[in-house]
Structure 1
Amino acid sequence: MKITNYISEAFTELKDNVTWPEWAEVQRLTIIVAVFSLIFAMITFGIDRGFEVLVAKLYAFLKN
């Protein structure tokens, strides 16, 4: 009984007391998050690729 009461109260709280953003704002913020995620992924890929090249050159240098 406690679990069903908790879930019921949670839904009531979400429905009555939470201020939800407008759909246009949700779309705008989603695009912003997606763009920054892509930028962060490209930066991470670039750094990873740079270290890969650096380590390969270091191993080649040490091998000779």
Structure 2
Amino acid sequence: MHKKNILVEIYHEFFYCITWPKWNDLQYQTMIVFFFSIFLSIFLYGIDIFFIFLIKKFFSL
């Protein structure tokens, strides 16, 4: 296989065969990821504080 054929196939695949998401779908999915990340970070922070509290209670006897 020649390098030129590979480059032409890559170009064709990239511009004609890939379906890109619509702008509204992309914004919606980005907001879902953003809010889920914020929620997960707050949730994990709460669990961390809880375990720190338990460790302090058990080892400060």
| Structure 2 segments unaligned to the other structure (5+ residues) | none
| Structure 1 segments unaligned to the other structure (5+ residues) | none
Q: Decide whether aligned partners of structure 1 residues 14 and 51 sit closer, same or farther in structure 2, where only a CA change above 3 A counts.
A: same
Q: Counterpart of 2:57? A: 57
Q: Counterpart of 1:36? A: 36
Aligned residues: 59
When normalised by structure 2's length, the TM-score is: 0.79
Matching of residue 45 in structure 1 with residue 45 in structure 2: yes
When normalised by structure 1's length, the TM-score is: 0.76
RMSD: 1.9
How far did residue 28 of structure 1 move?
0.8
